[in-house]
Amino acid sequence: MHTNGNPIVRVQNLHKWFGLLHVLRGISLEVYPQEVVVIIGRSGSGKSTFLRCLNLLEEPTSGRIEIDGVAVEATDGELLPESRARIRDLRLKTGMVFQDFNVFPHKTALENVIEGPVVVKGVPKDQAVEKGRELLRKVGLLDKQDVHPIRLSGGQKQRIAIARALAMEPKVMLFDEPTSALDPELIGEVLAVMKDLAREGTTMMIVTHEMGFAHEVADRVIYMEAGMLVEEGPPDQIFTCPKDPRTSQFLARIIESGRLV
């Protein structure tokens, strides 16, 4: 199924300890350009930690991460010195969307979106504004460009956060439970934006509890439990005939709670 050449994300034997807690237990994964990978699993399975390791918001205890040619490596709880110098390079390869949006409250919608390009990449302001407006139009918020986040709904804030991440032109978009903090009636507008991105061929890694959405947009679904990748496969296979009993157990519980629609 991977017709897009070499993997753009390559994770090898990733481990993460929080104190005495072994949260990630040797994760290896490859993601290919334009692929949409959805990671599911119960709370505390390490999904978010895994995603946050990919842009070094959490420092891995050991293992290797390579994204579009930028590699970092850790052993014995420490990043190698030359890896430490590459943290920012790695972050520039990724865009992240957080559960709590984390939009900048002191900046307007447009200022949020152009902040990265102008400050980090040194893009001329007028160019960044042009691109920023384009992105705001894409997420349906061009009319809110001069509004501060306090006057926006959660769904609007999250769409701004998506536009802000896209503005950096990352190679991979990381979504860490992007709809978990939203009121139910606001989830759809965020998922719609993400579906558009998937259609356009954006490489995405998504941690979510929205199984219907996962089924619809994912090229590959991964079930994670206790810090390990238990099973992966195309959504039809994972959701209809999972091979591992742990996956089917998890999905059964989800279906009970009525979330697999």
Partner 1 sequence: MEVTNAPLSPESDPDLAVGLALVRKARRVRLIETLKVGVVWFALLALLTFGLLQLRFDPPYIVQNAYFVLRGVWTTIWVSVVSIFIASVLALFGALGRLSRNPIAQGISSFYISVIRGTPLLIQIYLIYNGLPQLGQQLKLLGYPQLAQLLTLDAFQAGVLALSLNYGAYMTEIFRAGLQAVGHGQYEAAAALGMTRWQMLRRIILPQAIRVIIPDVGNQFIAMQKDSALVSVMGVWEITFRATRLARKDAKFIEMLLVAAALYWILTIVSSWLQSRLEKRMAHAYER
| Nearer to partner 1 among residue 46 and residue 95 (C-beta) | 95
| Nearer to partner 1 among residue 120 and residue 241 (C-beta) | 120
Binder of partner 1 out of 69, 105, 201, 234 (CB under 8 A): 105
Q: Going residue by residue from 57 to 96, which x/- string records binding to partner 1, judged by CB under 8 A?
A: x------------------------------x--xx-xxx
> Rounded CA gap, 43 and 62, in Å?
23
Contact stretch for partner 1 (CB under 8 A) within 97-105, 122-130, 222-230, 236-244: 97-105
Q: How far is the CB of 243 from partner 1 (least distance, A)?
A: 35
Q: Which parts of the chain fold into alpha helices (H)?
A: 47-54, 81-84, 87-93, 109-115, 125-138, 154-166, 184-199, 211-217, 235-240, 245-256
Q: How far is CA 58 from the centre of its chain?
A: 14
Match 């809110």 to its residue by tokens: 144
Binder of partner 1 out of 2, 12, 104, 186 (CB under 8 A): 104
Q: In sequence order, what are the beta bridge partners of 75?
A: 78
Task: Tell me the number of residues near partner 1 by CB under 8 A.
Answer: 28
| Nearer to partner 1 among residue 160 and residue 221 (C-beta) | 160
The residues in 119-138 that bind partner 1, with binding defined as CB under 8 A, are 119-120
Got the DSSP string for 22-64? Answer: EEEEEEEEEE-TT-EEEEE--TTSSHHHHHHHHTTSS--SEEE
What are the φ and ψ backbone dihedral angles of 17, each rounded to 5 degrees?
-110, 135
Residues across the chain:
261
Match 């599911």 to its residue by tokens: 40
> Rounded CA gap, 91 and 51, in Å?
12
| Nearer to partner 1 among residue 88 and residue 199 (C-beta) | 88
Q: How far is the CB of 47 from partner 1 (least distance, A)?
A: 17
Whether 238 and 247 have beta carbons less than 8 Å apart is answered as yes
Contact stretch for partner 1 (CB under 8 A) within 160-168, 200-208, 235-243, 248-256: 160-168
Whether 90 and 70 have beta carbons less than 8 Å apart is answered as yes
- The angle that helices 125-138 and 154-166 make with each other, rounded to 10 degrees, is 130
Binder of partner 1 out of 1, 43, 81, 150 (CB under 8 A): 150
Is 100 a binding residue for partner 1 by CB under 8 A? The answer is: yes
Q: Does residue 64 sit in helix, strand or coil?
A: strand
Is 190 a binding residue for partner 1 by CB under 8 A? The answer is: no
Binder of partner 1 out of 36, 39, 70, 168 (CB under 8 A): 168
Binder of partner 1 out of 102, 153, 180, 237 (CB under 8 A): 102
Whether 223 and 232 have beta carbons less than 8 Å apart is answered as yes
Binder of partner 1 out of 53, 67, 72, 103 (CB under 8 A): 103
User: Which parts of this chain interact with partner 1 (CB under 8 A)?
Assistant: 55, 57, 88, 91-92, 94-96, 98, 100-107, 115-116, 119-120, 148, 150-151, 161, 164-165, 168
